[in-house]
Chains A and B, each alone.
Chain A
C-alpha cells in the first residue's frame, strides 16, 4: 500500500492560499500520507509559527524551517531528503488537491507495481474562487512533453526513481519540475495518466498561472531542460522557444534517409487556384522541386486510364518510377504495390491532390523517425482556402478530422495545434511511414479500399506499442472539397467495428473534451452525451474547508463553476 510524501516548499504565501492548500491535503479521503512543508526563510512573520502549530496538531505534518532563502530547488530537495514515502507528490504552496486525489492515485498504483510516474488532469482556481481552464491532458505523450510541460500538476513520482535521477537540479529555477519530469520519464518503467482533474492551480497576481511574464527566467530554463533531455537520448537537440512559449525542435538530420513517395493516381484533371492541372503532375513537380529534402524517390502507381503523355512526362524524371495498376480502385492495394518498388527507409503515402506548403516539410516529418518506436508521422493538412483539413484523427463514436475547417492560424487549446504530439491516427492523404513497420504490419488492409485504411493501419501501429505523431510544422494543401462527404460503405464500417470498435468509440486518448470544439463536433447534445460517458464526468468533490486546523477564518470563495 503506497505511502505518499507530499512536498510543499513555502515562501511568502498569501495566508488564505496556504490555508486552503493545507486544508486540501488534510481533507484527503485517503489518509496514508505525510505533508512536508519547507519554509524557505519567508520574510512574512506569521508563516513559521503557523507551520509549527500545524506540526504540533497533526503528526502527519512535518515542517522544516530553512535558515536562509535557498530558492525553490534547494527547498524542494530538502523536502525530498525528509521524505519517507514510497511516492512523492508535488504540491505548490498556494494550490489545491482534489480531496479524492490521493485515493485515486492509490487505486491506480495498486493496480500495477511497475508504475513509476502518475500525472493527472488539472484546472485553475481564479481569484473569485472559480475553477477555470480545465486541462484535459493526453495519454502519455512524450513528443508533446518536449513542447510543453503538460504533465506538471498533479505529478506523483516513485521516490527511489526521483532520487536515482538526482531530484531537483540547480540551474533550472522556474522549470525545475519540467526538468525533473523529463528525467523521470526517461527512466520510468510505466507512466500512467489519470484523466480526472485532481489538482487546482491557483491564479494569483505574480503567479505563472496568471501570466507568462511572471517568471521570465523559467523559459530559458525550460529550453535548457529539453535540450539536455534530447542530448541524453542522443536526439537532435536544436530547440528554441516560440512566441507562444512553446518549445520547438528544428530538424537537423545528419543523415537524410531516402524517402520513397508513393503516389496513387487516376490521372485526374481539375482546376486548382484558377489553373487546369493534371493533379499527379502538379504533385510530383511540387514534391521534387519545392522540397529542400535531398534524398527523394517517387513511385507513381497509375491507373490504366492515365494518359500516355502524362506518364511519359513523369517518366522523364530520373527520380520517378511508374507502376501500372489495372484493377478497380483500391487505395490500399495501390500503396501496397507501390511499397514493393520503394528503396527508402521511409514510405510517404501521398494523394495526387496534395502539394507541400513549406520547403522543409519532409525534414519536419523525417526527424521523428530518429526514435525507433515512431512508426507514422503526419503533417498538418490544409484545404484549398488554407483552413485546416486535418490535424490528425480524432476518435469519438467514429473517426473525425481534428480541427477540421478551423483557421490554420489558431493555436488551439493549450497550444495543441502548435505542438508536435502523438495522435491515435493521421490521414494517409499525406503520411510518412517507416517502411519496415509498414511491411511487418501487413501494409494497408486491402479490404478497406477507400476509407479507414489509414485508421486501421494506425490502430495496428498503436496495438504494437508504437507511436503515431502529428506535426504542425510540416504542412501540405489537400485539394479536396471541404464539403465532400466521405464515401464509406457499410462493409467498411463493419470491418472497422469488428477490429477497433472500442478504440473508435472514444474517448480519444490524445484529443479530449475541449478539443471537441475544434473537431466539428461541438453540437451541444453530443457534447453533453460525451460528458455523461466520460469516466471523469462525475460531480467533482471540492474541499469543504470546514474542518481545517487553521488559525484564521476559512476562505469562503471556492465554488464549483467552470467558466470556459
Chain B
C-alpha cells in the first residue's frame, strides 16, 4: 500500500501526511467506539442496578462494581484520546496536509481498489 502511494507522488512530505491522516482516521473511529462503549456501560449499569432492586441477585453487585470501574477507565481513556485528537487536528501539518491530500483522494481510491 505505501509503495503504491509513494508512486503517486514524488513529494515525500505528502506520503508522511497521508500516514498521519490515516492515523487520525483510525483514532477518530476509536473515539467513536469508546464513546459508544462509555454510553453502553452506563446503560448496562442502569440495567444492573435495576436488577439489584430484585432481592435475589447478589451476583449483580459484583458485576456493577466491575462496570463502574470499566466506566471510569473508559472516561479516562476517552479524555486522553480526545485530547490527542484535538492536538493532531490543531496542528499545522494536519491542516495543511488535509488540504493537500484531498485532491489525491480519487487516485488513492483507484490504487486501493486495485490492491
Contact = CB atoms under 8 A, between A and B. Distances in A.
Contact of B43 (A324, A326, A446, A460): A460
Contact of A463 (B32, B34, B42, B109): B42
Contact of A443 (B36, B38, B42, B112): B36
B29 interface: yes
Nearest to A457: B36
A336 B109 contact: no
A559 interface: no
A443 B44 CA distance: 18
Nearest to B41: A499
B14 interface: no
Interface of chain B, main secondary structure: helix
Interface stretch (A86-94, A211-219, A434-442, A533-541): A434-442
A130 B42 CA distance: 47
Interface residues of B, number: 22
A415 B95 CA distance: 52
Contacts of B109: 322, 324
A296 B106 CA distance: 20
Contacts of B32: 336, 439, 442-443
Given A445-B36, A502-B50, A340 B25 contact: yes
B35 interface: yes
A311 interface: yes
B39 interface: yes
Given A324-B113, A442-B34, A443-B36, A500 B29 contact: no
A245 interface: no
A308 interface: yes
A442 B40 CA distance: 10
A463 B43 CA distance: 8
The size class of the interface chain A forms with chain B is 20 to 34
Contacts, number: 60
Given A315-B106, A446-B33, A441 B39 contact: yes
A337 B39 contact: no
Interface string A310-321: 010001000000
B31 to A, nearest CB: 8
A460 B40 CA distance: 8
B35 A440 contact: yes
B25 to A, nearest CB: 6
B36 A500 contact: no
Interface in A478-502: 498-502
Contacts of B36: 441-446, 460
Contacts of B50: 502
B112 A324 contact: yes
A337 B29 contact: yes
Contacts of A315: 106
Contacts of A304: 113
Interface string B21-61: 00001001100111111111011101100100000000000
Nearest to A439: B32
A212 B40 CA distance: 47
A459 interface: yes
Nearest to A323: B109
Contact of B29 (A336, A440, A456, A501): A336
A498 B112 CA distance: 39
Contact of B38 (A322, A324, A442, A459): A442
21 contacts: A311-B113, A315-B106, A324-B109, A324-B112, A326-B112, A340-B28, A439-B32, A441-B36, A442-B32, A442-B33, A442-B38, A443-B35, A443-B36, A446-B36, A456-B40, A460-B36, A463-B39, A463-B42, A498-B44, A499-B40, A501-B47
